[in-house]
């Protein structure tokens, strides 16, 4: 099945009771049993829920995996992956990554005796330099947030396989429409389904997808034992969102390209970070591992002035100043004071998150209105 068909039908069966085309919202915590243990596959909704199950099957289908798991947030999904580890284990992670992932790693799991190395993964030798016998997980985010660096998943997976290390990829920015990490050698794909998969800024949710049954069983155990699951109503909403993922992504990519090309020519702009530019340092890798370049763009204004960046964002009218990304509406954010405020200033400036950096999640509105909005805000 092609991706566009999978987005709509992947992993889905019509409702067995009445043939409902969309799975019903099974808003229930428990299920009647005829005799102790005599149930129809569902006992308790932390463990299983039919609406969540339909969504988890859709996750698996669109990511070319065999098993999908849904969580109450993206961070809950990451939390479950790190719980595969034990004290003394080491993780090699992207250095330019979602601020909340950095906070979870350094402020929670480091205290449990897990060691994290943050490295620039554009150069594979930086990863190899950190590998030792305790290395159990490589955590990749590509494109990175907010600097839009591209990491070569196939190259990282070769290092991971050689040393028998699990490779996880946060695929939130690219989505499976653009990039399929499991096909490129990753063991685990993670999503903040809050973003493009949900697509309408109305749900917070996380997802994991794997191919391997043994790994899936361990993660299902953690999902049930730790209990960070999502509810049936939210499962329904994200399942509905996925059905239009391909058409939304197509427009996000078109609009993203137009905005990037407009900004790069603007006299007030210092630099535009978007992997679609031929002079982007990893454009060639982006071209091979992604189908298109997405709707996420970051830029800096000339003079690197904090106040001016804030003013520009405040002037925007069609773009909404807000955290998050990946919804149908365009959003603008200021990473240094918002999503990346939990990363110390020296750390974030090392990776390029300077005071004038603005991040755009380009939505699917009319492109003329988006460009006009940027034009007036930059004035």
Site residues (vs ligand PLP, CB under 6 A):
73-75, 98, 100-101, 141, 145, 170, 172-173, 192, 194-195, 204, 206
CB of 76 to ligand PLP, least distance (A): 7
Q: Residue 170 or 187: which CB sits closer to ligand PLP?
A: 170
The two tokens of residue 130 are: 């950190």
Q: Residue 93 or 301: which CB sits closer to ligand PLP?
A: 93
Question: Active site residue: 79, 96, 152, 170, which one?
Answer: 170
- CA nearest neighbour of 166 among 218, 120, 123, 101: 218
d(CA 192, CA 59): 12
CB of 221 to ligand PLP, least distance (A): 21
Question: Active site residue: 115, 195, 211, 248, which one?
Answer: 195
CB of 338 to ligand PLP, least distance (A): 12
For the chain, what's the residue count?
379
Told to judge if 369 belongs to the known catalytic residues of this protein, a careful annotator would answer: no
CB of 228 to ligand PLP, least distance (A): 10
CB of 301 to ligand PLP, least distance (A): 23
Q: Residue 234 or 292: which CB sits closer to ligand PLP?
A: 234
- CA nearest neighbour of 288 among 148, 154, 168, 147: 154
CA distances from 240 to 28, 48, 202 (A): 20, 19, 12
Axis crossing angle, helix 245-264 with helix 367-378, rounded to the nearest 10: 40
> Which sign does the torsion angle of CA 180, 241, 245, 299 carry?
negative
d(CA 160, CA 137): 8
CB of 75 to ligand PLP, least distance (A): 4
Question: Active site residue: 46, 251, 291, 350, which one?
Answer: 46
Question: Active site residue: 26, 98, 177, 220, which one?
Answer: 98
CB burial of 312-345 (b: ≥16 within 10 Å; e: otherwise) equals bbebbebbbeeebbbbbebbbbbbbebbbeebee
The two tokens of residue 212 are: 């391997």
Told to judge if 98 belongs to the known catalytic residues of this protein, a careful annotator would answer: yes
- Give, as one character, the DSSP assignment of residue 112: G
Told to judge if 170 belongs to the known catalytic residues of this protein, a careful annotator would answer: yes
Q: Residue 256 or 301: which CB sits closer to ligand PLP?
A: 256
In the complex, residue closest to ligand PLP by CB: 74
Q: Residue 24 or 100: which CB sits closer to ligand PLP?
A: 100
CA angle at 108 for the pair 92 and 82, rounded to the nearest 5°: 45
Q: Residue 58 or 205: which CB sits closer to ligand PLP?
A: 205
**189 and 172 Cβ atoms separated by less than 8 Å:** no
Told to judge if 248 belongs to the known catalytic residues of this protein, a careful annotator would answer: no
CB of 326 to ligand PLP, least distance (A): 8
Dihedral-angle region of residue 220 (phi above 0 means left; psi in -120 to 50 means alpha; beta otherwise): alpha
Q: Residue 232 or 335: which CB sits closer to ligand PLP?
A: 335
HSE-CB for 283 with a 13 A CA cutoff: 8
d(CA 308, CA 346): 21
Residues assigned a catalytic role: 46, 98, 170, 195
């Amino acid at each position: 099945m092609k991706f566009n068909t999978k987005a709509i039908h992947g992993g889905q069966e019509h409702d067995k009771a009445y043939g409902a085309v969309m799975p019903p919202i099974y808003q229930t915590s428990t299920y009647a049993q005829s005799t102790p243990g005599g149930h129809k596959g569902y006992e308790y909704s932390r463990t299983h829920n039919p609406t969540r199950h339909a969504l988890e099957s859709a996750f698996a289908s669109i990511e070319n995996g065999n098993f999908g798991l849904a969580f109450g947030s993206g961070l809950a999904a990451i939390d479950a992956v790190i719980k595969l580890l034990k004290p003394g284990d080491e993780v090699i992670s992207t250095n330019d990554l979602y601020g909340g992932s950095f906070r979870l790693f350094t402020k929670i799991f480091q205290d449990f005796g897990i060691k994290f190395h943050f490295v620039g993964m554009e150069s594979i030798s930086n990863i190899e330099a950190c590998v030792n016998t305790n290395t159990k997980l490589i955590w990749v985010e590509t494109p990175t947030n907010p600097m839009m660096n591209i990491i070569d998943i196939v190259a990282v997976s070769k290092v991971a396989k050689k040393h028998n290390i699990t490779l996880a990829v946060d695929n939130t920015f690219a989505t499976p429409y653009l990039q399929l990490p499991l096909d490129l050698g990753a063991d685990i794909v993670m999503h903040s389904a809050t973003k493009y998969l949900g697509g309408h800024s109305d749900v917070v949710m996380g997802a994991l997808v794997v191919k391997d049954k043994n790994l899936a069983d361990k993660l299902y155990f953690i999902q049930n034992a730790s209990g960070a699951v999502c509810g049936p109503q939210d499962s329904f909403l994200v399942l509905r969102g996925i059905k239009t993922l391909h058409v939304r992504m197509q427009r996000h990519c078109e609009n993203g390209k137009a905005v990037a090309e407009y900004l790069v020519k603007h006299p007030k702009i210092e630099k535009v970070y978007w992997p679609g530019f031929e002079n982007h340092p990893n454009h060639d890798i982006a071209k091979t591992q992604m189908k298109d370049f997405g709707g996420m763009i970051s830029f800096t204004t000339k003079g690197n002035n904090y106040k001016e960046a804030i003013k520009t964002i405040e002037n925007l009218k069609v773009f909404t100043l807000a955290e998050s990304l990946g919804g149908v509406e365009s959003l603008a954010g200021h990473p240094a004071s918002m999503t990346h405020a939990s990363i110390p200033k020296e750390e974030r400036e090392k990776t390029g998150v300077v005071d004038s950096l603005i991040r755009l999640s380009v939505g699917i509105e009319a492109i003329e209105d988006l460009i006009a909005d940027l034009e007036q805000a930059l004035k």
